[in-house]
């Protein structure tokens, strides 16, 4: 039953991400703590998001701005190497707390987003986006602001963001394999979520121009806020 439900959730969150560019990964990482043990939370989320972003990048490959990828990739390799060491010093009991606080700051703190904007190059964006993803899972907004500044075309922003997030999640999955996480133990859930994610990406490419992105994002922002508070409260109860 969990497989079917999480497959549907993965479809919905992937569709959301494909339409508005961000939010799907955050929503998924906010829901997963109710269904997965803490040690599986970030790895399973990462593999699902890898399929979601990679499929979205493939569907929109003609709009990817490939010139930014080498810079982002270099930063990502450095970031994943350094931040991987953090896993040995952080109690997994507090991972949902990191996730909830990160979501709230990303959505509502102008100062937090201003600090992020200071690191406006793809080397540093790759370093922080991929590095932080090991701990908080969903870090797509870190490069979205930079892409919107560099490219006025929405399709270019969404396709390139998907490509960059694919790099982040691919590297993250390899890190968790290196640390011994056994993805096979959750194969049923993973397959259902990957099918949902890829299908959601496909649907999003056909709905993107038919939905008012501003109204949709407002609803998404409120929903994400509720979910963030929910997982923060669960840490202390």
* Structure confidence by residue, pLDDT tens digits, 163-172: 999 999 999 9
Rg (CA), the chain: 16
pLDDT of 220 > 90? The answer is: no
pLDDT-derived band at 38, boundaries 50, 70, 90: confident
pLDDT of 219 > 90? The answer is: no
pLDDT at 69: 95
Average pLDDT over residues 87-107: 76
Residue of 185, 166, 174, 139 whose CA lies nearest to 49: 166
Tell me the pTM. 0.81
Are the C-beta atoms of 119 and 101 separated by less than 8 Å?
A: no
pLDDT-derived band at 22, boundaries 50, 70, 90: confident
Average pLDDT over residues 104-126: 80
Are the C-beta atoms of 180 and 68 separated by less than 8 Å?
A: no
pLDDT at 168: 92
The separation between CA 94 and the C-alpha centre of its own chain, rounded to angstroms, equals 19
Other Cβ atoms within 10 Å of 35 Cβ, number? 15
Between the ranges 83-87, 98-102, 154-158, 198-202, where is the mean pLDDT highest?
A: 198-202
């Amino acid at each position: 039953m969990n497989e079917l439900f999480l497959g549907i959730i993965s479809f919905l969150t992937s569709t959301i991400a494909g339409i508005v560019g961000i939010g799907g990964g955050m929503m998924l990482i906010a829901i997963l703590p109710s269904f997965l043990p803490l040690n599986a939370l970030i790895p399973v989320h990462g593999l699902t998001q890898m399929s979601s972003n990679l499929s979205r990048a493939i569907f929109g490959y003609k709009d990817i701005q490939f010139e930014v990828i080498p810079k982002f990739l270099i930063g990502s390799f450095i970031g994943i190497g350094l931040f991987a060491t953090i896993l040995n010093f952080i109690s997994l009991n507090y991972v949902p707390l990191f996730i909830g606080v990160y979501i709230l700051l990303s959505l509502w703190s102008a100062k937090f987003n201003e600090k992020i904007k200071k690191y406006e190059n793809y080397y540093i964006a790759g370093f922080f986006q991929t590095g932080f993803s090991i701990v908080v899972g969903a870090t797509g907004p870190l490069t979205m602001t930079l892409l919107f500044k560099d490219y006025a075309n929405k399709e270019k922003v969404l396709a390139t963001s998907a490509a960059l997030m694919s790099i982040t999640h691919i590297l993250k999955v390899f890190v968790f394999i290196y640390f011994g996480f056994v993805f096979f133990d959750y194969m049923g859930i993973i397959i259902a979520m990957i099918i949902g994610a890829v299908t959601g990406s496909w649907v999003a490419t056909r709905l993107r121009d038919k939905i008012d992105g501003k109204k949709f994002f407002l609803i998404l922002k409120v929903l994400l806020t509720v979910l963030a508070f929910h997982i923060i409260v669960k840490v202390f109860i």
